[in-house]
Amino acid sequence: MRKQRRDTLTAMLFISPWLIGLAVFTFYPLAASLYYSFTDFDVLSKPVWIGAGNYSDMARDAVFWKSLYNTLFYAAFAIPLGLILSLMVAVLLNQAAKGQSVFRTLFFLPSIVPLVAVSMIWIYVFNGDFGLLNYLLAPVLDFINRIIGTDFQPPNWLVDPYLTKPTLILAGLWQIGGTVIIFLASLQDVPRSLYESAELDGANPAHKLWHITIPIISPVIYFNLIIGIINALQFFVTPFILMPDGSTNRSGLMYTVYLYDNAFRFNQMGYASAMAWVMFLIVVALTWGATKLSRKHIYYAGA
């Protein structure tokens, strides 16, 4: 009995740094933000309890709804496009070809470049006056204008309210390297015997992808979907640098950028905390919905 107690104390001693870290850096901030969401708190003075005031203000805040719409619009396109593109690249990189490891490295490299550095590059790519994209696009538009007599001009990607969100979606797709690696690892586990049997039955590559590959790696697709939902709703660095004020009519203002502005520019920490908890509930709801909708389409071997 004494030895068991000594072993328990020893185990507690070893895990205590992790428990302390979890309590100080996770549980306390969670509890504090929940409390601050019901207060008027500007960081410099003591919080004042106002009940659900921040949440009712949020319901009447047009900028809040604008940022939420922009974020959901971004997520609606960025998540499926990112998943499809990642899977296609992973399937291509899984083919036996000369220089395979080099291609895999090239596709993963953008994921390890700091987002701030990547975003600064995007500024020069999408700039409407001297951007690389418009530099390449201008001769094409000039040719079209001469042929059909139009007056198309290179767009201003970072200012035009109709292009700000598509621009952010394109920039976000640059970071698919991590998802590609996860898909690539899952493709290694698909039994080769299934492909060989399908080939004997006359299946073409599209049939093998749809009827064998996708069902086998469906748990990985589900995992990447959930991670994609969380990442899309927390999309921050790129829009913060490319469009710090949300661009024209706040057409590029993301939820997390507006949350940051309230917390650290306007010193409305109570309102920002309420926004954070609303975002948490949205993530939970979307994750639950994705799980319910995809449950019947996920195949677990041996289940």
CB 277 within 8 A of CB 37: yes
The low-confidence residues of the chain, meaning pLDDT below 70, are 1, 301-303
Write down the mean pLDDT value for the chain: 91
On whether the pTM is more than 0.75, the answer is yes
Q: What local confidence, expressed as pLDDT, does residue 263 receive?
A: 95
Q: What local confidence, expressed as pLDDT, does residue 148 receive?
A: 87
Q: What local confidence, expressed as pLDDT, does residue 303 receive?
A: 52
Model pLDDT for residues 260-274, shown as the tens digit of each residue = 999 999 999 999 999
CB 176 within 8 A of CB 82: yes
Give the Å distances, CA to CA, from 46 to 39, 56, 270.
Answer: 9, 21, 11
Q: What secondary structure letter does DSSP report for 95?
A: S
CB 179 within 8 A of CB 86: yes
Tokens coding 118:
């990547």
CB 289 within 8 A of CB 99: no
